[in-house]
Amino acid sequence: MSESNELRLKVSEALSKDVGRAFARMDPADMARLGVAIGDIVEIEGKRPAVCKVLPAFKDIRGQGRVQLDGISRDNAGAALDEFVVLRVTAHAPADRITLAPTTVTPTDRDLPYIGSLLDGLPVREGDRVRVTLFGSRSTDFRVVATAPRGTVIINPTTQLTISGPKGQKASATSGARNPVSYEDIGGLKPQLQRIREMIELPLRHPELFERLGIDAPKGVLMRGPPGCGKTLIARTIADEAEANFFAVSGPEVIHKFYGESEAHLRKIFEEASAKGPSIIFLDEIDAIAPRREGTLGEVEKRVVAQLLALMDGLSQRRNVIVIAATNLPNMIDPALRRPGRFDREIEIPIPDRDGRLEILEIHSRGMPLAEDVSMRHLADVTHGFVGADLQGLCREAAMLCLRRLMPELDLTLGTVPYERLATLEIRMGDFLAALHD
Ligand code: ADP
């Protein structure tokens, strides 16, 4: 029993294309130190142990004592970015059977072979979360509820898959179930994310650091930028990564839908967020709630601004709530909101540049079966001015056009499209270009 077969490494985010594959990318020198080769299975322990497959990291993260894990493996291992995990070699066996419980959408029987093919080669243990991207970018998470044999198993083409629970129906629509998002789902905003993480994730996760150093953790952060660039996505991601509760409030809704009860509604959300902390309150389109007071502002808006200011000020004793506000009109909001102790940090979320567009396109085409001729680089070149939401729309539209192109050949009288046929579907460059020119 040699102790040397353990290695402590710091967690970095994974490459976007690796998401869902349980890869642990590390410096080849660290692989040698641990005594593992490419494709070996290691146990990775943060708060809990997860299992991953070893691959070499690219040059830019070598020599730093780091291991790259995606959001799902980080979740399975109970480790956040920049935290330490312990890696060790672990015994494993081929999986005879595994049982999966859906967390969002329940697949039908006919999806099973397809799901199995997507999970082929994945190392899992009971309790792990795994992600499957069905045709298009509709991804679904499952929990591994049982494996045979027990312990670490590798899914292979002969593994018998079972879905637990009722089949063929959607998970309850009212449960608000959704897949958690992680940093790998956000494209082109690395420097902004780094700052936002320091401002929000760090104080939520480690309030004791801020207390000890005598610095005030921010209560409010203002994100400025055009619609569709990822402000909401970032807020949700930070909440998921920090394991915080997420409360979304729409500015116009507070004013209009809750007319007459706007302040009470805000108070209720702040109370609930404080009670359930750590929490993130996301105030979208804050300009609708808190426009400049000197203008021709009605009584309602004045009272709502005053209430919001009072609630922000009241947060001082509790460090477990952070309010993120988003606006496209930063000059329209009441300057009182931007004073120290309120929304005193600001961050610009810009329209993506070419490299940003490329990353976003890769994220949204991640689960798509792409033909050889698809060049995401070219698409990034010709989509100047597109924001993240537009690029997501482009990928969806290309998939729809592909479907329309193939429709005449598919024999839908059979009821369901056979798996062999599904496996041959491919989205071509022509589908993307046609979607672009629609
Ligand atoms: P905003 O809040 O800035 O209006 P959203 O976060 O609601 O924008 O963006 C809408 C959708 O567009 C997101 O759910 C996501 O699918 C996609 N999207 C936007 N920006 C990005 C990005 N930077 N990376 C990946 N996807 C993005």
> What's the pLDDT tens digit per position in 26-44?
999 999 999 999 999 999 9
* pLDDT-above-70 percentage for the chain: 89
Q: Calculate mean pLDDT across residues 90-101.
A: 92
Tokens of 355: 């490299």
CA–CA separation, 266 and 196 (whole Å): 24
Per-residue pLDDT reduced to its tens digit, 180-232: 888 999 999 999 999 998 889 888 888 888 888 888 788 899 999 999 999 99
Residue 103 is predicted with a pLDDT of 81
The answer for residues whose C-beta is within 8 angstroms of residue 233's C-beta and 6 or more apart is 181, 185, 186, 388
Say which residue the tokens 């899914």 belong to: 155
Terminal CA-CA length for the chain: 64
Give the pLDDT band (50/70/90) at residue 167. very low
Which residue has its alpha carbon closest to ligand 1 atom 14? 233
Rounded distance, CA 204 to CA 94, Å? 40
- State the average pLDDT over residues 135-163: 85
Q: Which residue has the higher pLDDT, 172 or 23?
A: 23
Q: Determine the pLDDT at residue 110.
A: 67
pTM for this prediction: 0.78
- Ligand 1 is surrounded, with C-beta below 6 A, by 186-189, 227-233, 326, 360, 363, 388-389, 392
Task: Provide the pLDDT for residue 170.
Answer: 40
Rounded distance, CA 349 to CA 328, Å? 10
CB 380 within 8 A of CB 404: no
Q: Give ∠ CA 173-174-179 in degrees, rounded to 5.
A: 65
Of residues 360 and 215, the one with the higher pLDDT is 360
CB burial string 218-231: b at 16+ within 10 A, e below: bbbbbbbbeebbbb
Q: Is the pLDDT of residue 400 over 50?
A: yes
Query: Which of 138, 231, 392, 396 has most ligand 1 atoms within 8 Å of its beta carbon, as the pocket-test mutant?
Result: 392
Q: Does 415 have pLDDT greater than 70?
A: no
Bridge partner residues of 133 (DSSP): 139
Q: Is 382 helix (H, G, I), strand (E, B) or coil?
A: coil
Residues with Cβ within 8 Å of 190's Cβ and at least 6 positions away in sequence, in order, are none
**Average per-residue pLDDT in the chain?**
86
ipTM entry: 0.99
Minimum CA distance residue for ligand 1 atom 12: 389
Residue 148 has pLDDT above 90, yes or no: yes
Which of 233, 282, 364 should be mutated for ligand 1, with most atoms under 8 A from CB?
Answer: 233
Is the pLDDT at 113 greater than 90? The verdict is no
Find the 227 Cα to ligand 1 centroid distance in Å: 8
